[in-house]
Structure formats: C-alpha cells, structure tokens
Amino acid sequence: MAAVAAVRQMEDEPLLNAGIGATLNSDGEVELDAGVMEGAGLRAGGAACLRDVRHPIDLAVAVMEDGRHVLLAAAGASRFAREHGLEMCDPSIFITDRKRQELLHGADTVGAVARDSDGHLAVAVSTGGRTGKLPGRIGDSPIPGAGLYADDRFGAVCGTGLGEAFIRLGLARLMVIELQHGMDGASVAKGAIDHLGQAMHAQGGVILIPREGAPHAAFNTPAMPWAMAQ
C-alpha cells in the first residue's frame, strides 16, 4: 500500500513528529499513535500510546488485517505487535534531540492518501501527538472518522492539527460526507479548515483525494508541507 510505505518512511525522519524524533509527553517520554484505512471494504486499524514498536504504522496495518478490533493501545498493543512478529525497539530510540523535541509545539502529524489504478483509496497516518500531552492521551490519528477516513465511493482524507478538535467534529468523516453530496474537493478541504477554526478555534490541515480528480490540501497553520505524485 503506497500510503503506508510513505508514512513508514516518514516515521524514520527525525525532523517530523512521527516515530524517531516525535514530541515528548509531560513525563518526557514518546507515545506514538498511528492509523490506516482502506476504502474498498471500509477496513481500518489503529494503534495508540506505543512506546516500543519501531514502526507504529506497521502495527496499525496488522490490527486492520487481523480484523477483530479497530484500535489497540498501550501494553496490549505492544503485546499484539510482538505476537505478530513486528519490529520492537528500546523506547530511547525515538528520543533524538530532547531540547528540540520539547520545543515541537506546532509539529505536524504525518499522513498520506492514495488512489490506485483501479480506483481503490487508502489513507495512513502516524504521529507523536501534542507536546506535553498527558501520558495515555490518544489523539485523532488512529480514530477513523476523526483524523482519517477512506471510502472508495467518495474519497479519502487525512488531517493534522489539534486532535481533540478533529475528534469532536468527526472532521474526516464529515469531509467524506460532503464529497458524497457532490461538493468538489477544493471546497471540501477549505470548508473543513474554516469549520475547524470557527467551531473549535483550532489550527490544522487536511489532505484529501476524491474518487476522481486531483488531490487537494488546506490549512490554517503558518505552513503545512505536502506533495503529490502520479
């Protein structure tokens, strides 16, 4: 899955808030979340509060493929990862430059949306969450309908920003509903960010790819680097 491959690579980039180099919680530790969803069968998997799983996105995929649950967290998620042969690690591997990580207040979640030649859609997301978050906090990234959503009939979405706001609004699912109602992708992306700012007074960004046509992005943060490939 191209979306998963892209996110997996970004989990290895210390400058991004996912995997190595992710933000620290209030105890000075890294806790990671990740989620994935396929639009063909609405299959989804998420993993949260991870400390010793080398690639959280791999665990999200394993949860999705196992199929019994959608979201696993903390020690139970790590046990599931070990039982399924995923790469584990010492939690210290994620902490690179402690001072830099402590300053990552505006750090972005990483995510990717993809559409293949058969029209199938997928989305993958990974994050370290908010700097200084309470231990055990779970954001929007592993939650279908909040930080990600994919439906082959309409489109796929991923988001970055204040996770609590995305959860309260169900923003990713809302965007796909608007695509379902015939709105164009650019308007849906811009409208979602306007709604995020007006309803929640929150910052963030979204990337979406509709069932047909080009991908779109929108954000109300100072910047949100993104790219597309065909």
Burial of 190 by CB count in 10 Å (0-12 exposed, 13-18 middle, 19+ buried)? middle
Q: Cα separations (Å) of 54 from 30, 31, 210, 230?
A: 12, 12, 32, 29
Bridge partners for 159 per DSSP: 206
Beta carbons of 160 and 51 less than 8 angstroms apart: no
**Confidence band (pLDDT; 50, 70, 90) for 104?**
low
Beta carbons of 162 and 204 less than 8 angstroms apart: yes
**In 3D, which of 117, 124, 132, 135 has the Cα closest to residue 160?**
124
For residue 108, the model assigns a pLDDT of 77
Give the tens place of pLDDT for each residue, 30-72.
999 999 999 999 999 999 999 999 999 999 999 999 999 999 9
Residue 97: pLDDT over 90? no
Give the tens place of pLDDT for each residue, 187-199.
999 999 999 999 9
Burial of 164 by CB count in 10 Å (0-12 exposed, 13-18 middle, 19+ buried)? middle
The answer to whether residue 109 is catalytic is: yes
How far apart CA 173 and CA 148 sit, in angstroms, is: 8
Q: Which domains does the chain have, with CATH numbers?
A: 2-219 (3.60.20.30)
Instruction: Name the active-site residue from 23, 96, 109, 127.
Output: 109
Pairing mode, if any, of strands 155-161 and 204-210? antiparallel
For residue 123, the model assigns a pLDDT of 98
Beta carbons of 178 and 188 less than 8 angstroms apart: yes
How far apart CA 148 and CA 159 sit, in angstroms, is: 6
